[in-house]
Amino acid sequence: MHRTTAQRRGKYRDLIVAIALFLVLDLGVLVFNFYASVQIESDTAKINASGELRMYTQQLTKSLLTLAQELRDGMPIQTSQAQISESYGNFRKALVTLAAAPDRGGPLHWINAAAAAEEAALRKRVADYWLPIDNTVLPLIGNAAPSEDDVAIAVTKAVARNIRLMQLADDLTRHLETHAVAAARLLRTIQLSAILLALLNFAFIVLKFVRALRNSDRAAEAAREETDEILATVRQGLFLLHRDGTIGSQRSLSLDDLFGRPVRTGEPLADVLATMVRPEAAEAAADYLGLLFNERIKPRLMNQLNPLHEVAIRSEADGVREQKHLTFEFDQVRADNRVVALLVSVFDVSEPVRLRNELAGAEEQVRRDVDLLLATLDQEPALVAGFLDAAEGRLELINADLQQVEPDGRAYAALVDRLFRHAHAIKGEAALLGFATIARAAHAFEDRLAPLRGRGNVDGAELIPLAVATGALREQLLRQRAVFEKACSYAGRAPAANPLDTMVRQIERLARSVASDLKKEVRLETSLGGLSDVPPVLSQLLREAVPQLVRNAVAHGIESADERLRAGKPAAGTIRLELACHDDGTLALSVWDDGRGISPDGLRRQLIESGRRSSEEVAGMSDQAVVATLFEPGFTSASVADAHSGRGVGLDLIRDLLSRLGARIRVATRANAFTRFTLLVSA
């Protein structure tokens, strides 16, 4: 910093010295002109006084002769005396003027001292030659009756010395005039020299200034070229943001590419961001920038609050919409401790964000694979194999149905319900076994179908995009199959029979998982009568129907802990799974809960509000008929759909399963007390 200051001083030193010299010369010329004017005035006064000496000596001589004549003739002498007095006084005044005028000191006296000495000698000779006349004339001044002798003496002195005195006065006048001319010539020479020096110095100043200005312009141009090269080369976006929120003229060329649009000088940054980021991000950025222009705010303290850190940007690239991630960094530009602008740096962090997301996705996939492996190892191989075979079979049915879809405007409402039941069955069995990724993929497939359910005008074009969701579900099943086969290969054993306690353990785990998701407390009780051999039909009910009934019991029947406590119940709800064998060989598998029960009146209101029944139809229905509507496709008592309820397909799926197995179902319920679903099937 000190070196820069010294260089700056050295840069302007010559210019400052030249200007000072110019001012000194100008001041010197002014002072010399003042002295010259005083000298010329003095010389003029001396020349005039010297010229008057001749005139006054002649007037005095003439007046004396006249006085002498008037005395001889006895005439009045007042006029003559007055003329004598006037001539005498004027002569003495001229002598005083010559003696009192400024002497030739100063530069001219130093330059021509001989001329000054000669002038002084001539003045002295005139004064000495005048002195006798002065002595004889002085007694006559003011004397009313001068004697003829005194007058005669004065006349004699004046006549005798008049001619010589006039010659001496002429000599003095010529000397003064000659010297004045020489002095004026010298003064002009000095003035011209000073003016010439001043002009030369002024020319030097101009040349020095022009040269300095040219060098400064070259340096500025070189700096500008370097700045342009830097701004053209740097990959990040750089620009100044003024206090009024507008973008400055100096910015990097890469800024347009980063923003995906041309940026204009003076364009408000808020307008640019409004076309690139979400409205809430643009609004937060405006507030953030307002804080940065506060002199008391330090940018480093605000970095964590930056709403434009790794912000998603929508931009056009070669006519293709692509998403970028940009990071904006801000540095305050201060002048006199005032924030005058912000230096904004923009970085394209799309690749790091993409890699981080891919890494997170890979880590998530690894975690899911580990979960799949753990879930697979936690199950009986036969149960997993049965699930995979059934799920893949259902998926084949889904694909077959979708391949027959034609975008010709035909109605496919029934197909939508069928697809939904397949997906819901896969989700339920996957959740029962703890295969969360498959359950999520099946739930996503349900999300695609949910807007189409209950519509009578579904056409084929709306079903075509379902292929993407089907592919995701197939991918998860294939991954589960691969994990299962590797686990079986590593274990070196074939799938074994599935014991009953394993199924119960899975159902219990499902109940706890659903209760945890819904922030409820539940416990599962079982009473299976010591059955050791599980018939295939019972195994299918335990695998497909019972999980759905347990899920419904937790989601619809069991209340929250607070609600149960207010109703005088224990905080944890109870679900009981019971199996009984009748004398005729019928198996009765029931799922009971001590929840809120089923309200026929509430179902009536929902039937009317959903438009499934008219008020007249509902009025004519018995409570049993109203409860039976729960098994209709698409009907649900839940107000909001989530991962466990609200789809209107669970009981519909059970009805379809029971129809295929030739089984029956009974429902018993009491409001605020219990609900029991009993499945009756022949062994």
Element containing residue 665 per DSSP (H, E) = strand 664-670
Confidence of residue 583 (pLDDT cuts 50, 70, 90): confident
Backbone dihedral angles phi then psi of residue 579, each to the nearest 5 degrees: -130, 130
pLDDT for position 90: 86
pLDDT for position 374: 65
Confidence of residue 11 (pLDDT cuts 50, 70, 90): low
Average pLDDT across the chain, whole number: 79
Q: How far is CA 681 from CA 180, 501, 587, 660, 662, in A?
A: 151, 20, 5, 11, 7
Segment among 144-153, 566-575, 587-596, 613-622 with least mean pLDDT: 144-153
Q: How far is CA 344 from CA 229, 255, 376, 659, in A?
A: 18, 11, 53, 69
The CA distance from 117 to 119, in Å, is 5
The residues, ordered by sequence, that sit 6+ positions from 116 with a Cβ below 8 Å of its Cβ are 103, 104, 109
Q: How far is CA 483 from CA 150, 182, 443, in A?
A: 163, 125, 21
The residues, ordered by sequence, that sit 6+ positions from 92 with a Cβ below 8 Å of its Cβ are 134
Number of H helices, E strands in the chain: 22, 10
Q: How far is CA 493 from CA 487, 533, 601, in A?
A: 9, 21, 55
What integer is the mean pLDDT of 267-296? 85
The CA distance from 204 to 25, in Å, is 14
DSSP 208-262: HHHHHHHHHHHHHHHHHHHHHHHHHH-SSEEEEEETTSBEEEEE-THHHHHHTS-
Higher pLDDT residue, 555 or 188?
555
- The CATH class for the domain spanning 2-210 reads mainly alpha
- Specify whether domain 234-348 bears CATH 3.30.450.20: yes
Confidence of residue 484 (pLDDT cuts 50, 70, 90): confident
pLDDT for position 572: 92
pLDDT for position 531: 63
pLDDT for position 683: 66
Residue for token pair 């340096």: 219
Alpha helices in 74-112 (DSSP H): 78-100, 106-111
C-beta separation of 155 from 132 below 8 A: no
Q: For CATH 1.20.120.160, list the domain ranges present in the chain.
A: 357-491
- Examine the pLDDT at 1 and tell me if it is beyond 50: no
User: pLDDT tens, 410-467?
Assistant: 567 777 777 777 777 788 777 777 787 888 888 887 777 777 776 667 666 677 777 7
C-beta separation of 268 from 261 below 8 A: no
User: pLDDT tens, 587-640?
Assistant: 888 999 999 998 888 888 888 888 888 888 888 888 888 888 888 876 666 544
- Examine the pLDDT at 139 and tell me if it is beyond 50: yes
Backbone dihedral angles phi then psi of residue 240, each to the nearest 5 degrees: -100, 135
The residues, ordered by sequence, that sit 6+ positions from 445 with a Cβ below 8 Å of its Cβ are 423, 466, 469, 470, 472, 473
Judge residue 122's burial from the number of C-beta atoms within 10 Å of its C-beta, 0-12 exposed, 13-18 middle, 19 or more buried: buried
Segment among 350-364, 504-518, 596-610, 643-657 with least mean pLDDT: 643-657
Higher pLDDT residue, 10 or 166?
166
Confidence of residue 8 (pLDDT cuts 50, 70, 90): low
What integer is the mean pLDDT of 217-238? 76
The residues, ordered by sequence, that sit 6+ positions from 60 with a Cβ below 8 Å of its Cβ are 84, 87, 88, 91, 133, 137, 158
pLDDT for position 6: 54
pLDDT for position 462: 73
- Examine the pLDDT at 641 and tell me if it is beyond 60: no
C-beta separation of 570 from 579 below 8 A: no
Q: What is the DSSP letter of 342?
A: E
pLDDT for position 674: 92
pLDDT for position 319: 44
Element containing residue 119 per DSSP (H, E) = helix 113-137
Q: What is the DSSP letter of 560?
A: P
Percent of the chain predicted with pLDDT > 70: 82
Single-letter amino acid, residue 235: R
Judge residue 197's burial from the number of C-beta atoms within 10 Å of its C-beta, 0-12 exposed, 13-18 middle, 19 or more buried: middle
Q: For CATH 3.30.565.10, list the domain ranges present in the chain.
A: 500-598+637-682
DSSP 457-482: ---GGGTTTHHHHHHHHHHHHHHHHH
Choose the most confident range, by mean pLDDT, from 37-51, 99-113, 119-133, 221-235. 119-133
**Angle made by CA atoms 524, 525, 526, in degrees to the nearest 5:** 120
Percent of the chain predicted with pLDDT > 90: 6
What integer is the mean pLDDT of 177-205? 79
User: pLDDT tens, 295-341?
Assistant: 777 766 677 778 888 888 875 544 445 578 888 888 888 887 788 88
pLDDT for position 16: 77
* Beta carbons within 10 angstroms of residue 467's beta carbon: 13
Residue for token pair 């007249």: 616
Q: How far is CA 434 from CA 378, 422, 464, in A?
A: 9, 18, 30
What integer is the mean pLDDT of 376-391? 72
The residues, ordered by sequence, that sit 6+ positions from 499 with a Cβ below 8 Å of its Cβ are 380, 534
pLDDT for position 559: 92
User: pLDDT tens, 464-473?
Assistant: 777 777 877 8
What integer is the mean pLDDT of 58-86? 85
What integer is the mean pLDDT of 56-81? 84
Fold adopted by 500-598+637-682: Heat Shock Protein 90 (3.30.565)
Fold adopted by 357-491: Four Helix Bundle (Hemerythrin (Met), subunit A) (1.20.120)
Higher pLDDT residue, 13 or 239?
239
Question: What sign for the dihedral angle of Cα 610, 612, 618, 624?
Answer: negative
The CA distance from 654 to 639, in Å, is 21
Higher pLDDT residue, 307 or 2?
307
What integer is the mean pLDDT of 208-224? 78
SS3 string of 496-548?
CCCCHHHHHHHHHHHHHHHHHHCCCCEEEEEECCCCCCCCHHHHHHHHHHHHH
Q: For CATH 3.30.450.20, list the domain ranges present in the chain.
A: 234-348
Q: How far is CA 6 from CA 10, 191, 462, in A?
A: 6, 38, 79
